[in-house]
Structure 1
């Protein structure tokens, strides 16, 4: 079959979005190589064709529908939505939690305010089979959890469309293009409104000046008609989204802030058109255009803040490269990352990004993990060390055996946890959403009351006073007060290596009174290291470190790993005795290392006296007798002392819960200055202690890393897992310390307190502004143009105040010991 390549149009054949310049993604459809905008569309289109569903494209073309990336309520809609029921297509964005639950991340178009979020969550949450549907107002992403056996995904997409919104599967490339389109539309609308406002204001000034100097009627009429011509594009084009949203909300019996906005703009415009045509009464074209312009400015600034946070989240998935070097039978082959499978062997050259999670099989290098952990120094990796997709190989080429791809990678898990945090609304956000919804109803009732009262007091002033009330009380600032602050704080902490996975974490940290730590792997490194070597006799030419490392090289025991840095020579005839030690020959001499009783069997003599009882001691001996003692212990994290000191200065009470009943627990507590220590406790006893604390009024933050910490992590009000923790521990925790640096915990506490303060400032400002401005507008002291400026300025102040949280915080030096 001859392949016909058509001239590349300006839009993607699958989704209709613009094809970025310099890209060359195509899919063979109906005998033609059709252009695609990204690898995602290419993969989906290929799946459709391979599944025998290419008739979808023929049906779409035959129907004459223009595929501009937006779903249309036409005859082919059901067929298009039905594609999302295909398991092959769902594999790109759906994760199956269990046999009866699936999770999908979507992008919702058409959201303008908190009331839109409420409507979506309320409507979709009532659909059969839907367990959870939560929308993040900041980046317009939705998290859907539903039962695929009970309700098809296409049905839920249709329900979103039915109430006036559009849902798309979340994909970073696609969302970037949607954000770019939204930005271009906003700039065009803002430009038309700005030009129209300036021209109409010049006409209005002339009209006001003419009223003082008895301007001739023909000039007044000319100015009025000119203002009508200039204001009409502003109302019909720039203000169009307000009217569409208001009509959609009224149809669904929902009140959003666009309802009073549309009433104000539409009412003032129609009244002015009537006055112009009938040549009687006042015109308000200047107020209409100014209100539209300033409202659009406020929303544009808010949109830019939302886009920044959305792009920050997309940047995580964008860390993965588009292609990888696959090694097959000794040959190199460039393949798309989406085609990689577990057990594939890939070559990663210096400066290249790892395409997926895996294990190094050949080579040593330094890996830059700063994008995930916030740690700027590269980490040395060698054979058998795990590596994470999205990190950068810095020094030498390495070969990596792929272990996890797609949704199973650590990067995907982090993105999923981050989306869960954004979708999970804290109490403050839920209260603000509820207040904003009822506030709109109060505004409409108040406006009707004001209009009725002024129609008796001064009928000629009733209209513009009512218009001012509608404009000045739009609750834009109230709806933005909480989500902008929470999103900015969450993004800042993620960049610092502190990943929030549930929405209540910032509230919990801000109000915390106690921080309880596990010991092993949390306050300590979780790895045994050699603390001291003490000779048992004259060493002569013996190097006890090298001899011990040679013997331990054959063991995978955690004790053996402590000796690996000292490996220099080989041992032979090695033999491991479980729970005792290792025996072998080095340079023709027999040695044993391990428990003192085991080592003493080699020279068949009395046991030497152990240096002390505080630490774990291993004995190295030959046939002549004891050679050296090695003290092994878990090392305290370097930043543990500073972190605990900083937390105490912030007013926290520190405690330690550990299952270790040895003297090591008391030694760690003493070195770190921890007064409250519970050692030798079981997981159930840990949970019981935490419950007792919380029952007494304490707000507890629990930090742990092991499987034995899962119950207490789930039971604490706020739980934090170390980055090195088990997957179960990280899933049970509310936040993850990706960098495993405890110092970031104190940093998170500072950011949480600052976030709480800024949310309170924003809510206070939004409420005080409305409480002050509403009476003034109702009494006729605020003109419509003044109301427009005040309302927009109020929203800008709230967004600007929240953006203070985007600054990278620093722990002050006074917190250090």
Structure 2
């Protein structure tokens, strides 16, 4: 591409390696990215090319006027275009949006309040750290374009999330912030030179200054302060205007009142040659506040980097194989069943199945597992993982919003935007605080006007500035974003951040056995016959029934004997969750399940002489037990260490299993469980947890199967293994993508630390205001000191929260088994 070529759609620079072109008005146009190409294609396909005729776009800013923006919003209602960023859940749609114009926690509050009030919007939350919004709406009641227009109406702009454009907005935000800081800094330095001279000439120092020279210095100070108030402080005024237009009192309202009042009083004093000027306070306050917010913005972006990093893992270009020919295409063009070539060192572009080749796949960014995993033909691979060894051919199974990485990103985004109770309390306090602050400022101003009118502006300015509740509103969001990102890097995905608040209070951790405490890959090691039926027939019948069950024991049995299955149908299937399954084959009813199930169902003896303490499955008909199948499963390597660390945290541990008591208790002998329960059906497990809760216990449940879903939903905190069924994961508050049990005590420790930091932040914010307000009201704090104190207070809160992202030794045990990870 030619240097300086602009994208025909958005006006951004077209990268040299770009090849995204489309014909518009019978001329080939260049696009900067797949997103613009997709939007342009939708415009052309729907005969809406007039959009390009009537728009007025400045190629330097790439921002259309309001008519163009609204026209573009309507394009996002197109179902074809929505396939790229919308997830459908029946009648409800879910999407991730980027928001422009968010400058403080009050902006988040205003947007959430306004959009959630719209008929048809089920949920709307904003992640203050990344400025990404999470919206769920009913398309029958409201269109996405209407939601975007409503956001525009209150002074903000939203777009469907695009990783590359998000990065551009971040860079743009940084650049603008640095320009404002530079202008404020230069203005403040020049104004302070004259201010020092005028302070030195005060009568108390013995030095004097000619009135004409003093007035000249004031006029020169006005010249240098004007760009600061007009350009550098503009974000505060815009934010305050948006709030007041909606009859809300945001945090930038008192800031703007202070700046305008101080600058106006200074201009009046300069023109009339009477009173004091506060140009130094205005410029210094603006500089300190801009600097503090810039550092806070950098910290926010760092805390929210994990969600962005997940999306950026996917490659822009992929090699698709069509009829033995290789073609380079954009990842957005991939469709299910496409065949792609992934060379060694390349990133897998989408979820799929290896159809040719074998290699080592690094899934560490997704699961937290540091070692590459061997994958062969028919193995599943996850988009975003790295192929480290050999070239492989992959058949694409899922693309776009259906991929694992997109799902993780959505869950992480949801977790970071959800607010625990302590955060909601802080938000309510901050909202009322501004009103109380303005009332108190009025009282302080009245008192000083009646007693020392010359100091009114100085005192009011200091009060307004020093008590801005930025730190209070930042106390929780900064910490929650930091900890969810931290845990995700360790392979522990938090789907509901409110769970972290409860996890810090957990008193009991309940484990399922198969697939949780063990690897969930039982191996069928032996079968014993009890009737004259041939072993082949028994295995055929058992496999025919096991085919309809997702229990790990049934899956193993089916995989081992599926070749024995004939064409005969197995019908009248009935699942008895956690116990067994029945079916009719060749007109006769058979059941497959544990000993207790067989005894209860057919009232016959199972010959259950389990001397080897193995998991067992019985095949029986109405006459007798036909066969017994025996399994072995392996305990997870880190299970003992995890239980020991939970003990050290004074947390009680419980084992629940659907296996019989003998097998369950034998497994438990390797651990130090406080109680063990076998022969548990899902309702039995749920009942046991409810009994614990009635006794004031805070219960965390760890499970992996469909039969665990009700129990996971019933516990105060639930964790599903990364290998768990979709239903189990959907019921869980957290997902162990790493499948490492040692991350459970780590998560509990980190949740305790998180709640401690949130409480520290809130305590600091409240104590700071309680101390600063009286001092400022009594005149002991100068305006420039107030500006510095307020900025440092907000920065301290964010910096304290970022301690959660520091490298941590996440487990060690007395037996010498250790693990270390640095974030």
Smaller-chain TM-score range? Answer: 0.7 to 0.9
Whole-angstrom CA distance in 1 between matches of 2:637 and 2:469: 49
From the superposition, tell whether residues 449 and 124 of structure 1 become closer, same or farther in structure 2 (CA, over 3 Å).
same
Per the alignment, do residues 273 and 46 of structure 1 end up closer, same or farther by CA in structure 2, a change over 3 Å counting?
same
In 1, Cα distance between equivalents of 2:610 and 2:45: 72
Cα distance in 1 for partners of 2:615, 2:367 equals 33
Q: How does 1:34-113 map to 2 (within 5 A)?
A: 34-61=29-56, 68-70=61-63, 72-73=65-66, 75-98=67-90, 100-113=91-104
Partners of 2:479 and 2:117 in 1: how far apart? 29
Mapped to 2, the partners of 1:452 and 1:611 lie a distance apart of: 87
1: CA distance, partners of 2:632 / 2:711 = 26
Distance 1:115 1:303 in 2: 15
Aligned twin of 2:383: 389
In 1, distance between residues paired with 2:727 and 2:557? Answer: 30
Q: Counterparts of 1:276-355 in structure 2 under 5 Å?
A: 276-355=270-349
What is the distance in 2 between the residues matched to 1:809 and 1:65?
Answer: 48
Secondary structure in structure 2 of the residue aligned to 1:105: strand
Task: Please say if residues 465 and 780 of structure 1, whose CA atoms lie closer than 8 Å, have aligned partners that are also in contact.
Answer: yes
CA contact (8 A) 1:649 1:815 kept: no
- 1:713 match: 712
Aligned positions of 1:742-761 closer than 5 A: 742-761=741-760
| TM-score (normalised: structure 2) | 0.86
Q: Which of 198, 201, 205 is 1:210 aligned to?
A: 201
Aligned equivalent of 1:702: 701
Any idea what SS the aligned residue of 2:109 has? helix
Aligned pairs, how many? 749
Question: Is the partner of 1:133 in helix, strand or coil?
Answer: strand
Which of the numbers 374, 382, 398 marks the counterpart of 1:380? Answer: 374
Q: 1:561 to 1:750 in 2, by over 3 A?
A: same
Greater mean deviation of Cα atoms: 82-91 or 488-497: 82-91
Q: Summarize deviations over 1:592-647 as a string: whole Å, max 9, x none.
A: xxxxxxxxxxxxxxxxx9994422699xxxxxxxxxx9974111101000001011
Deviation track 1:134-188 (CA, whole Å, cap 9, x = no partner) reads 1122211111111111111111111111111111111111111111111100010
Instruction: Give the gaps of 5 or more residues in structure 1.
Output: 534-551, 580-608, 619-628
> How has the CA–CA distance of structure 1 residues 561 and 385 changed in structure 2, closer, same or farther, with 3 Å as cutoff?
farther
Q: Deviations over 1:392-441 (max 9, x none)?
A: 11111212121111111111111111111122211111111111111111
**101, 112, 122: which one pairs with 1:121?**
112
Q: Displacement of 1:373 after TM fit?
A: 0.7
Aligned-residue offset at 1:651: 1.5
Deviations 1:688-714 (A, max 9, x none): 222222222111111110000111111
Whether the aligned pair in 2 keeps the contact of 1:71 and 1:166 (CA below 8 Å) is no
Note the residue ranges of structure 2 that are not aligned, 5 or more in a row: 528-542, 571-607, 618-627, 817-823
Cα displacement (A) at 1:52: 2.0
Structure 1 distance, partners of 2:427, 2:274, is 43
1:29 paired residue number: 24
Question: Once the two structures are superposed, what CA deviation does each residue of 1:367-387 show, in whole Å capped at 9, x if it has no partner?
Answer: 000110111100011111111
Task: Output the CA distance in 2 between the equivalents of 1:194 and 1:468.
Answer: 20
Deviation at 1:685, TM superposition (A): 1.9
1:358–1:403 CA contact under 8 A, matched in 2: yes
Task: Report SS of the residue matched to 1:671.
Answer: coil
Change (3 A) 1:815 1:287: farther
Distance 1:751 1:440 in 2: 33
Partners of 1:808 and 1:23 in 2: CA distance: 38
Equivalences for residues 577-726 of structure 1 within 5 A = 612-615=611-614, 632-726=631-725
| Distance in 2 between residues matched to 1:245 and 1:76, nearest whole Å | 24
The whole-number CA distance in structure 2 between the counterparts of 1:457 and 1:343 is: 81
Q: 1:652 to 1:528 in 2, by over 3 A?
A: same
Q: Is the 8 A contact 2:658 2:679 kept in 1?
A: yes
Aligned-pair CA distance for 1:663: 2.1
Distance 1:258 1:48 in 2: 39
Does the Cα contact within 8 Å between 1:326 and 1:334 map onto a contact in 2?
yes
Equivalent residues in 2 for 1:774-793 (5 A)? 774-793=773-792
1:158 equivalent among 132, 149, 157: 149
Mapped to 1, the partners of 2:469 and 2:554 lie a distance apart of 64
Q: In structure 2, what is the Cα distance between the partners aligned to 1:91 and 1:198?
A: 53
Q: 1:147 to 1:8 in 2, by over 3 A?
A: farther
Cα distance in 2 for residues equivalent to 1:67 and 1:202 = 37
Deviations 1:66-100 (A, max 9, x none): 79444633x444423211211122222211111x2
The alpha-carbon deviation at position 476 of structure 1 amounts to 1.1
SS in 2 for 1:355: coil
| 1:275-304 residue CA offsets vs partner (Å, 9 max, x unmatched) | 111111110000000000000111001111
